[in-house]
Amino acid sequence: RILFPPEKICMAWQQTQRPGAGLHNLGNMCFLNSVLQCLTYTPPLANYLLSREHGRSCRQQGFCMMCVMEAHVNKVLHSSASAIQPWTVVNVLTRIGEHFQVGMQEDAHEFLRYTVDAMQRARLSGSSDLDISSQATTIIHQIFGGSLRSRVTCLSCKAISDTYEAFLDIPLDIKAASSLKEALEDFVKPEQLDGENGYKCSKCEQLATASKRLTIHRSSNVLTVCLKRFDAFSGRKISKVVQYPEYLDLGTYMSQAAGEPLLYSLYAVLVHEGYGCQRGHYYCFVKASDGRWYKMNDASVALCDIKTVLCQRAYLLFYAR
């Protein structure tokens, strides 16, 4: 079943206006403010929420993340105030993720994940009998979702085994990378499976040496990249500069490299300042519908240029196809 027709997704802004309001920080909420601003300026999502199509047809009782986002985005983009208080979202924080607490700093990437998942659940409410491929046809999956292919090739008998996995964003290791391009190359670099880590081949029925390679199989309309700046064990931050372009060609990282460029344009950058993801400060840069870039730092909205945007120590990068 197709839950949302892909041809109805509009990647370009349907109305041009000045940038919307800033967001007052309601106590350690910079992680929430910066993620909300990045989502508000995601053109296909904003177009849909501004049309109020969801609210008109929503039959959900109680909490619905799509209704919450629809109210928030309409308030931000239509407000004449320089900043608003994002209570619409803060009031449902524990519904988005039960471990989130008002007044506690959280990791922006984790909050983004939970928010997008909550919107996905809202779009699936009342359809519990749907198979996995039908679930991937909601407007949320059609905007943010793609799939990865993991291909294992047995080096003894050359048998190939493919598995596929849906993604809503791509986390990239940056320990050895100084640019987004290098991090993506590392992501798709073949890995050798041998010794104790050998591959049990179903064709030649033995523990064999194999090559495993991850590629992007189906690209998303909006590509969200998380540069993994926080060490999972120590929580320490990797503060180095990782360069990223305004325009990204994803063609070379696809399963079927057709030689055709697959072009994406940067529209939001989320930055963390400080030493650990649970402390420090988050803010972001977004490209508004007027085509200009703005720095969104809680209640402050300031015009800036692309040169400033491209020299940030980014944590999350948002690209639109």
Catalytic residues, by residue number, are 30, 281
Q: How crowded is residue 178: how many other Cβ atoms within 10 Å of its Cβ?
A: 12
Residues 6 or more apart whose CB falls under 8 angstroms from that of 106 comprise 31, 32, 100, 278
Per the DSSP assignment, residues forming a β-bridge with 266 are 319
| Spatial separation of the C-alpha atoms in residues 222 and 154, rounded to whole Å | 34
Q: How crowded is residue 300: how many other Cβ atoms within 10 Å of its Cβ?
A: 13
Task: Report which DSSP code applies to 167.
Answer: E
What tokens were used for 32? 């929430």
Cα 208 to Cα 159, 193, 202, 302, distances in angstroms: 11, 8, 10, 58
Contact between residue 2 and residue 137 where contact means Cβ atoms under 8 Å apart:
yes
What tokens were used for 258? 């057709």
Task: Report which DSSP code applies to 179.
Answer: B
| Spatial separation of the C-alpha atoms in residues 63 and 118, rounded to whole Å | 10
- Helix or strand or coil: residue 43? helix
